[in-house]
Structure 1
Amino acid sequence: MAASVRERNAPAAPPRAAKRPGGRLRALDGLRLVAALMVAAYHYGGRGGEVTDAWGTSPARQFPTLHEFFAYGCLGVQVFFVISGFVICMSGWGRPLASFFASRASRLLPAYWVAVVLVTAVFALPTVAYEAVSPSDALVNLTMLQQPLGADRVLGVCWTLWAEIRFYALFALCVVLPGANRHRVVLFCAGWTLAAAIAQAANEPLLDLVLMPEYAPFFVGGIGLYLVHRDRRDACAWGIVGVSWLIGQHHAVRELWHAPSVDAFSYRSSFGIVLVVTLGFAAVAAIALGWLQWANWRWLTVAGALTYPFYLVHEHLGWVVIHALHRGLHLASAPSFALTVASMLLLAWLLNRFVEEPLTPRLRSALSRAR
């Protein structure tokens, strides 16, 4: 009996899935940027029924054909969550809680702080004069807890960070704190999946807040795919992935589909939603299985580094650039769109080069030393 307990709690066997030398999955970096660009396409051109100040009309008029495809870009968030489940399980495996916390905080906070200050400052400029949050709410935004505290958000995309933080907390308490191993990770995935389904049925706000039934299958699916990455013959891991995909597509359709309407904010078919969710899972699965090892270009690492700062700044500052290009300089829609994306990528590179690269290791080191 004691021997079986020791065997069950022992570290997982060495990975059988092929991995590129050095262990970095550069294709995953590229996929992260693709997901971020999907979200940007949705923000700039996928809200077909909304008249925007930056465009002067609705994106449906600016992009008569493409806006129907851009509308699916919001599902880049779900793809992000699958990637996050994979990456967090990978980074938390064999790492003590203090190191895990230091790694996550130092990764998220420097660029986030600067993005909050930058967007607040730009929106306060007389030439921009967008509606800004109050000084008190802007300060609360620096904590990343503005959403549960009921403060106005400086960054529209930060709601996804609140979901990420809750995922980190659950994973840290249930897996990292006691020590990650395959048995514990499988139990976590099974327990969270069942608890999220119960929360959905109970319709209890507190359970929804903690267990996130609409997003849990994407995080859990990513964790399952990391188990596949460690051992592609792990039937239990494949089961976790399959169940997560089934539940995830259900929630995505439930949240994002509605009957066709000319007055709708945006419209997506249920088939299109399921297809994008499926492609997101399939892309991460291909990376987990080592099928994309050939994508070993250095620029993919750069693309991965730009993803987070681009995601933070692209929405609000992007609207400022679109307004200046399209309505100020009278550029056509397509070049305005392309130049806005390029300018946001340039800004993301500056944030990575001059904020994240110097501050992330210093903050990680300071938090790692803290007791």
Structure 2
Amino acid sequence: MNAASQTTKTTFLGLDVVRFTAALMVCFYHLAYWWWRPDLATTGGGGFRDGIQSPVSAAGWIGVPIFFVLSGFVIAYSAQQRSSSNFLKGRISRLYPAAWICASITVVSGILFSAEFELVRYLNSIILNPLGPWVSGVYWTLAVELVFYVLVAIVLWVAGAKYLHSFAILLGSWSMAYWGLKVIQDFVGFDLGINLQIAGDYEYLTLSRTGCYFALGMLLWQTTKSGWTPFRLLFASGLVLSGLAANVGAARTYLLVDPLGAAPLLLPAAIWLMALAAMYCSVHFAEAINAVLGSQRNVIRSLGLATYPLYLVHSELGRDIMLSLTNLPAYLALWLTILALVALSLGIVELEKLIRQPLTSLLHGQARKNDARR
């Protein structure tokens, strides 16, 4: 069986394991580091005053770059043989139901625990407004994802799926150029006189920082179809180096803010490289991995699907749960909170199915009406 035919028939259970692990890392980052930061605890930011902040949990933010690489792979895979409109409808039915449920849960939690409610944040969250503000800071990644999806849809509309590889090269080159200049100016210290913040507070929407991750995931998908070439190896190396620059740069910033509690400089980058290796093996040795994990297939698939709602609800809701468990030892409160969040996320997966079905029918029904008018 060749790689191309294999990928059309195989479920990548290994990727579900990587995805869920990355989600747990982000959970630990917020619940065992972020909300324990002294600046939050002492300035009324809602943080905890004693407990479990550690350099290891402080590296958990690296789960987000891992998500972006996974997204690049999944989107390149799912966009095959699909029209631009069908691709967008698929993304809408995948993203919005869980966002509606999770934003509502976060709002209810905020009202119950802190009596806070801002309508504009809630509305921005349920429509996934890329500009924010949202009910939780984690929604910024959805803004980045939406920009990426729109660009992919444009490529499908203008040129078709066969040009997604070219798009990955353009997106990756854009991001590599950004990080190359960033290294020269910020790491080496040579002032090029170039303003890299061309979009100010909305720089994240340009994909200059994150494009290397998406492009790397798309390139990984391409190798399952037609293997590695010298150019792909060289290009992938550049993307990995750009990702390392991004990860080390972020880790350095955290160390400047929190020199005692932040993660060691190279730890997030090391975790990211291990995740890339796991993704590669999950894709190129899928059959062998599925044979090992096959007995737990349903559990692994369920946890993979629960990753998205878990990511959306874990920070603010997890903080509120832990604040209600202050009579327990910090580590016990942490584990009980994470277990509760995972259980809730599994429930959300089932609940969102009740919304997705009519939403999908509505989207496809409207599409048929539009086709009839033409």
TM-score in terms of structure 2 length: 0.83
Residue number among 213, 224, 249 corresponding to 2:208 in the alignment? 213
Match of 1:70 in 2: 57
Please tell me whether the aligned partners of residues 23 and 307 of structure 2 are also in contact (alpha carbons under 8 angstroms): yes
Q: Does 1:129 align with 2:114?
A: yes
Q: Does 1:243 align with 2:222?
A: no
Please tell me whether the aligned partners of residues 57 and 263 of structure 2 are also in contact (alpha carbons under 8 angstroms): no
Match of 2:49 in 1: 57
1:209-239 C-alpha deviation (Å, 9 max, x unpaired): 5532211111111111111222334444433
Please tell me whether the aligned partners of residues 82 and 222 of structure 1 are also in contact (alpha carbons under 8 angstroms): yes
- What is the percent sequence identity of the aligned residues? 23
Q: Which region of structure 1 is more displaced relative to structure 2, 188-197 or 233-242?
A: 233-242
Match of 1:178 in 2: 159
Q: Which region of structure 1 is more displaced relative to structure 2, 280-289 or 264-273?
A: 264-273
| Offset of residue 295 of structure 1 | 2.7
Please tell me whether the aligned partners of residues 98 and 309 of structure 2 are also in contact (alpha carbons under 8 angstroms): yes
1:81-140 C-alpha deviation (Å, 9 max, x unpaired): 000000000000111111101110000000101111221122122xx12543x2233223
| Offset of residue 34 of structure 1 | 0.7
1:180-233 C-alpha deviation (Å, 9 max, x unpaired): 12xx23321221122334556552524945532211111111111111222334
Residue number among 95, 104, 118 corresponding to 2:82 in the alignment? 95
SS of residue in 1 equivalent to 2:328? coil
Match of 2:218 in 1: 223
Match of 1:340 in 2: 337
Match of 1:8 in 2: none
Please tell me whether the aligned partners of residues 176 and 238 of structure 2 are also in contact (alpha carbons under 8 angstroms): no
| Offset of residue 261 of structure 1 | 6.0
Does the C-alpha gap of structure 1 residues 237 and 94 become closer, same or farther in structure 2, counting only changes over 3 Å?
A: farther
| Offset of residue 255 of structure 1 | 2.3
Q: Distance in 1 between matches of 2:91 and 2:255?
A: 41
Pairwise mapping of residues 2-151 of structure 1 onto structure 2 (< 5 A)? 15-16=2-3, 19=6, 22-47=9-34, 49-50=37-38, 51-52=40-41, 56-58=48-50, 62-63=51-52, 67-125=54-112, 128-132=113-117, 134-145=118-129, 147-148=130-131, 151=132
Q: Which runs of 5+ in 2 are unaligned?
A: 182-193
Match of 1:270 in 2: 265
| Offset of residue 262 of structure 1 | 8.4
Aligned length: 341
Q: Distance in 1 between matches of 2:205 and 2:108?
A: 33
1:15-51 C-alpha deviation (Å, 9 max, x unpaired): 5268489421122112111111000000011236335
Does the C-alpha gap of structure 1 residues 82 and 257 become closer, same or farther in structure 2, counting only changes over 3 Å?
A: same
Q: Distance in 1 between matches of 2:79 and 2:2?
A: 16
Please tell me whether the aligned partners of residues 30 and 304 of structure 1 are also in contact (alpha carbons under 8 angstroms): yes
Match of 2:293 in 1: 295
- What value does the CA root-mean-square deviation take over the aligned residues? 2.6
Q: Which runs of 5+ in 1 are unaligned?
A: 1-13
1:224-271 C-alpha deviation (Å, 9 max, x unpaired): 111122233444443333221111110121123148568548422332
Please tell me whether the aligned partners of residues 195 and 211 of structure 1 are also in contact (alpha carbons under 8 angstroms): no
SS of residue in 2 equivalent to 1:153? coil
TM-score in terms of structure 1 length: 0.83
